[in-house]
Structures are given as C-alpha cells and as structure tokens.
Structure 1
Amino acid sequence: MRHLVRNPAFWYVGALAFMWPVQELLAPGPLDQLREWASTNLANLRLPPAGHPVAALVVSAFVTQASPWVWPPLALSTFAAVSALGARRAVALLATVHMGVSLVTEGMVWWRIRHGSLPGSEAHTLDTGPSYLVVAAMTVAVLCARPLWLRGVWLVLLALVAPRLLDGLGEGSFSAIGHLTAFTVALAAVCAHGYRRRRPSPAPATA
C-alpha cells in the first residue's frame, strides 16, 4: 500500500475518478463555468490579470470536456508509464506533453486568427481535458507495459479511441494534430529512454 501511495499515477487516476461524479453532479451552469475557466484557450492563456495560464494548464488535466467516466480507466496507463520510465521521468514526460502540446495547438490557433483564416471567437473555444496526457501514457503502455499481454490490451484500447481522437486530422483539426503530436513525443521519449539504457557504460580509466 505504501508503494501505491507513493506512485504519482495513483493520485492522478484518483483525481480523475473524483472529478467524474463531481462533473456529473454539477448543474449545467456551474459545470460550463468550470470548463470555461479550465480551458486552455487563448483567452485564458493570456498573462494575468487578463488570463490565468498556469492555473488553466494545470486544472485542464483534471476537468474533462465530455464523458468524464471514460478517462479514469484510460488513465490507468499512467501506471505503465511510471513503471517503465520511473516516477520523475514519467511525470516530466506527461506534464510536458499536456502543457506543451496545449501551447503548440493554441499557438496554431493564434497564428490563424492573426492571419485571418479563423475568426477571433476561436480564442474562446472550449479546450480542456486530459486527452493529450492520456494518449502519451497509452503510447508508453503499448511499448513498455508488463506483463507483455498488457501491451496488447493497451494497443486495442488505443486503436479503439484513435478514430475519435484523430477525427478531422485531414482538415487540420487542432485537437487531432495535438493527439498525433502527443503520440509522437511519447514514442520519441520511449526510444530515447531505451537507447540510454542500452548504451554501454564507459570503460574505467586505466593508469
């Protein structure tokens, strides 16, 4: 039990599980306000006092945009990420993916608004949820989970959710681009981690 409590995946999955009934029980008005406040859109990512970028980037990993019951089971993949990469590397990777990909996709929105290909109202579009983080964790689980049969389970689950997550990729959907980026970054991180582990240690110096 002590080992479980020390695992950051335990606390993250627990937080998502806690937010499931919270979001189901909230009235539509307060729930919409929570999602709008947690959204990582351009309006919220402005520097204070106009926005609250740090709070939005953090809280958005726990407030889902829809179907809050889906995410706690999928987030169990974070246990595989922690087991494969270690707690610090896993937290660093998943936090970087969640915040970095959110910033990249919103940067694309900003660019298109600035050049007139999107209306200014897109700066207030709802954009919250743990999907980038979870896609990265599932990618690590597919490649590294143990026992080996768990990799097959995560591969099937990732294949099942991929069509929804990548919907609109051909039309330039920012969310779909974000999910593909999260997958790519996690894949690169696993490859780099595997390379470091296989790299031979330098021979000791001789007199």
Structure 2
Amino acid sequence: MSAANQARRAARAAWRYVRRAPGTFIWLAILFVTTLILRHVSPGFADGILEKRSTNIHYLSQSPVRVLISSALWIAGGGWFFYFVLYNVFHVPTERWLGTLRWLGVVLVAHVGATYLSEGVLLWAINHGHAPESARYTLDYGVSYALAGVEAVVCYLIVSPWRYVYLAGLLFFYGSALWSGRTFTDVGHFTAVLLGLACYPLTRGRSTAGVGGPFDPVATVRRLWRRLRT
C-alpha cells in the first residue's frame, strides 16, 4: 500500500473517531484556540481576559449565564495536551455512550452545580470573617468541574467489582484533596464528583455497544497481553 493510501486511510479513521464525539472535539478545539491566545498576550492582559470570564461571586451575581459558559472555555493549568489526553480517556467514551445531549447534561450539572456550591461556601466564609472581602473577585474558571463529573459518571460504564474499586479511588483522590487543601475549588471538585454520580438516571437504558460494551479492565489487559505475545 502506498504512503498516500495509508495517509488517506489514517485520515478517514481519525475523522470517524472525531465525529462519534463531536461535542468533545468542538470543546477541545475552542480550548486550543483560547490556550494559544493566553500564550501570546502579556500576563497582565491575560489576567484581564480571565477576570471577566471568572465565575466568582461578583460576576455570578451580575451575569451568571455569560460567565458560566465563558469560564468553561479556558484551561486553568495543566496545558492543552494534558486535557486532550484526559478528554479522550473520559469525555469521548462518555459522549459515545450517553449521546451528545446526555453527555452535555452531565457536563452542565457538574460545572454549574459545583460552581454555585463552591462559591456559596466561599460567600459563607466571607460573611463569617473566614475569608477576606476581596475573595468575591477571586479567579474561578476552567474545565475541571465538568471533567470530575464525567469521571464520576464513568463508574456506571465499568463492570463490577471494578466499578467500586474505581469509585473508591476517585473519592479518595478528590476527598484527600478536599481534606488537605480545604479551598473552595477543592469543595467544587468533590461536589462535581457527587453530582456526576447523581446523574445515574441519564445512564439508564443506554446501550454500551458504541463503546465496545461495559468496560472490564481485567479482560482489556488480557486482550492486550495476547496481542503483545503474538
């Protein structure tokens, strides 16, 4: 087979992969653009961009819909490629499994719910003297709440008993961060996990054929081992 034919086959395979999770890859494309923007402007200008798109207490009271949407279009640390990998591990199979609308429902529940609860905790801390008044304007943006919610709903795609092992690891990871950090973002991440688990009704009756059936880590390792030996 010629190199040109191989390239065409690879391109068709990549397109089939992308179009089965359109929401995830549109989101990744937007994140790629916004990440480039931040890299090519001065730090002060970047802070100004992010400040106006932050879901802090001030902007949630002024223009909640605008900042809830715009805050999810920027990456808060980790780099774009890091999130590209995580999106392919968690968002892609979830969108294929639930369908784009239900996947988007999980994303919105986790992002919006965790944002309001975490900022509510921060507001309580301000009102009771545990945080300064300036915390009303703290930067709060990024995609991690939505990602945590999707990571949680993936539990229902894993076969037992491994689903409970995965769930215990997920709760330990975010729970230990909450215990040690106790910041409003730690509250948000743990809340997003709980909200993702609460999205179980969205998973009922969904076929797993589009993702190759329920995920069995042991069977997957065995298949990979057989392929490596042949």
| TM-score over 0.5 for the pair | yes
1:140 matched to 2:153: yes
> 1:12 is aligned with what amino acid?
W
Q: CA deviation at 1:60?
A: 0.8
Task: Give % identity.
Answer: 26
Is 1:63 the counterpart of 2:74 in the alignment? yes
Letter in 2 for 1:182: A
1:1-207 alignment runs, 5 A limit: 1=15, 4=19, 7-47=22-62, 52-69=63-80, 70-76=82-88, 77-141=90-154, 143-144=156-157, 162=173, 167-170=177-180, 172-190=182-200, 192-194=201-203, 196-197=204-205
SS in 2 for 1:126: coil
| Number of aligned positions between the proteins | 182
TM-score (norm 2): 0.68
The CA RMSD measured in Å over matched residues stands at 2.9
Relative to structure 1, the CA distance from residue 132 to residue 41 in structure 2 (aligned partners, 3 Å threshold; closer, same or farther) is same
CA distance in 2, matches of 1:12, 1:142: 23
- Whichever structure has more helix as a proportion of its residues is 2
Gaps spanning 5+ residues in structure 1: where?
199-207
Distance between the aligned counterparts of 2:189 and 2:176, measured in 1?
A: 7
User: Retained in 2: the 8 A contact 1:17–1:72?
Assistant: no
**Structure 1 residues 130-182: Cα deviation after superposition (integer angstroms, max 9, x where no partner):** 0001112233345427xx9xx99xx6xx86xx47x953434532111211111
Aligned residue type for 2:34: M
The superposition leaves residues 99-118 of structure 1 with CA deviations (integer Å, 9 ceiling, x where unpaired) of: 12101111111122122222
CA distance in 1, matches of 2:141, 2:103: 21
Moved over 6 A (4+): none
For 1:92, the aligned partner's letter is G
Calculate the TM-score normalised by the size of structure 1. Answer: 0.75
